[in-house]
Amino acid sequence: MGLCGSIATAQAASLPADVDGTRIINADKEPGNWMSTGRTYDEQRFSPLKQITDANVKGLGLAWQYKLDYNRGVEATPIVVDGVIYTTGSFAVVYALDGATGKLLWKFDPHEDMTRAGEFCCDAVNRGVAVWKGHVYVGTNDGRLISLDARTGQSVWQADTIVDHSRSYAISGAPRIVHGKVIIGNGGAEFGVRGYITAYDAETGRQAWRFYTVPGDPGKPQETPELQMAVKTWTGDAWYKQGGGGTAWDSMAYDPDLNLLYIGTGNASMWNYALRSQAKGDNLFLSSIVAINPDTGAYVWHYQTTPGDAWDMTATQHMILADLPIDGVDRKVIMQAPKNGFFYVIDRATGKLISAEKYAPVNWASKIDLKTGRPVFTGEASYWTKKGKVLVRPGFWGGHDWQPMSYNPQTGLVYIPKHVFAVTYENTPDYQYIMNKKHFYQLGVAAADMKDDPADMEKWARSWTGSLLAWDPVKQKKVWEVPYKTIYNGGTLSTAGNLVFEGTADGRVVAYRATDGEKLWQSPAQSGVIAAPVTYEANGAQYVTFMVGWGGAFPTFAGAASLDAGVRPWAQVLTYRLGGDAKLAEAHFAPLPIPAPPAQTASAEQVMQGKAEFNGHCSQCHGINAVSGGVVPDLRRLSAGQHQMFASIVKGAFQQLGMPSYDGVLTDEQITLIHDYLIKRAYDLKAETQNPGSPVTN
């Protein structure tokens, strides 16, 4: 059985999910488990398991599969403790599965408030759970943190994490647990909120501390000295009325020796730097890595990757702790490849920048000044100073988005799900921006504007490409790269078997040789894979598990580009082992009808007004120019009955199906204009079927 097996047996005999800080810190002593989101507190996502290697990975076969309840975006990293998998699907449904067989042990549905589905930003996704001393913890899109009994899946306690229910706060990230405190951030910066991260007692759910990531009312004393410092980097009060943003919606890492918790903060609300802060100041702590004391929530240091962020270049992307040999000296570093296109290596004790180089195409800055730690802005991306559309590289999904990267200490390489992504931004000062209204994006800028013409949409779709990038963080250079047809591929896992595992947007699960990127194995996933895989042991065998399910920000907002991936949503868990011989069950996709639209009675001017209203208020879920990526209904395909009751649907008739009510938010005139535009797009769709190969019609 060996050491790993004996430890697992002893633990399993006591209490399910009996994890504490000591077990996580000593995770390498029981490599068959995956006890925290990044496996270890340093979030390297590297497994010492090597039963599966580059020499035998071709023998991987399906061991089992499990169908999830909702065919929406699946972003969870599973937790595996003593042979049991704890994971989530869409709408924060929690599953406990037998790691060897896939048998369901229990399921918990938090019954998220479907009337708030329009406030979830980027699909009804959830990035997974945390476990601690016999409990499982999950955050919900409607803002609750829930503790479950790991044996039964029954709720133990629930905490409301939202400070202001008049704003569109949500949770999509996975909790982390340090010293008995469950730590969770919130999302919602696009909707106009003030960012913060909170710690709760794991036993009772009582709040231990809260750290605000942007200042409060500038006319009043701030809650903490660091916010008093930060408020001086903002100008005016528009940002405060809007909320400020800076939400800590995803990545964290923890150093037990330094007792520092690292959080990544997000974009501003509004994006538009001129409207938000009169184009002045760094606007702390937007788009920053912030080190805090996990016991008290006290600020220690920060490093801001994108001062005055005006493009949604968040620093919420995955952070990795490692000890690297730099200039002949071992340095304790934190590494990040945030959206802005630069790979950062930072001293994790002090926050001092060590190095930063471009890992993706960038035009907003020429370099990072190593003396000051600040970017050297080019001015090319300063849309608030220009007329017309301004091309920005990388755009709002960045050179790398939330999908986790991994670090292999044996190869010394970081494996990044890279994007090549550029979009236009346009300052439109005459537009009546929505402020402080739930459900609505509040960006202050027109982004990713496209013509209805399929050729224009296809041009953009084909220009957004992805890759798996192997990056040397010491030399700050590419070692190898595998190209993909589109962005938004899955997170990565690296192992001691000299392997890198990744799922792809075009519906595959793949293994590469870690040293040179040679593809050694792949298998169909039936849908896009955006989550990061994990590996573990059960009954002496090594398994690799992929969470499969197309969704998230890219397929909902950029439907035309998403369709170019050639997949549709189908959510399931796929688990592989050497010699696995299970047969992949067939996926069942509903037909896509093209109903006859009603007569168009609107003028061309009204249709164009409707387009602006639609893209301003509806595109974050139903796609730019009403081209859905398949995650939510394609509104070009409304039935005759749905056209007849369109206004009622917008005003709440389908709330319990996840379509929120906009009654009292959108006027009757706005609803009519949006409907006029959708009728036009329905006729466009009928015409486009003459060219079935176009990605915008599939």
Residues 6+ apart with CB under 8 A from 301: 290, 291, 350, 351
Can you spell out the DSSP letters for 277-327? HTT-S--TTTTEEEEE-TTT--EEEEEESSTT--S---S-S-EEEEEEEET
Distance between CA 24 and CA 547 in Å, rounded? 22
By three-state DSSP, how is residue 456 classified? Answer: helix
- Determine how many CB atoms are found less than 10 A away from the CB of residue 151: 16
Main-chain dihedrals φ then ψ at residue 200, nearest 5 degrees: -125, 145
Instruction: Tell me if 87 sits within 8 A of 97, measured CB to CB.
Output: yes
Query: Which residue has tokens 């926050």?
Result: 351
For residue 593, give every residue at least 6 positions away whose Cβ sits within 8 Å of its Cβ, in sequence order, or none: 637, 639
Closest C-alpha among 68, 112, 39 to residue 550: 68
Name the CA dihedral angle for 232, 237, 243, 245, rounded to a multiple of 10 degrees: -40
Distance in angstroms (rounded) separating the CA atoms of residues 348 and 345: 9
> For residues 472 and 480, what is the distance between their CA atoms, to the nearest angstrom?
10
Q: How far is CA 530 from CA 47, 116, 121, 210, 612, in A?
A: 20, 24, 17, 30, 30
Binding site for Ca(2+): residue ranges? 190, 267, 312
Q: Which two tokens stand for residue 302?
A: 């920060």
Which residues carry out catalysis?
312
Instruction: Give the annotated binding-site residues.
Output: 75, 127, 188-190, 247, 267, 312, 339, 618, 621-622, 659
| Nearest-angstrom CA–CA distance, 44 and 322 | 8
Instruction: Determine the Cα–Cα distance for residues 219 and 404; give it in Å rounded to an integer.
Output: 39
Q: What is the DSSP string of 380-418?
A: TT-GGGSSSEEEESS-TT-SS-SSPPEEETTTTEEEEEE
As a 3-state breakdown, the chain gives helix, strand, coil percent values, each rounded to 5, of: 20, 30, 50
- Cite the annotated binding site for heme c by residue number: 618, 621-622, 659
Length of the chain counted residue by residue: 698
Please report, in range form, the residues annotated as the binding site for pyrroloquinoline quinone: 75, 127, 188-189, 247, 339
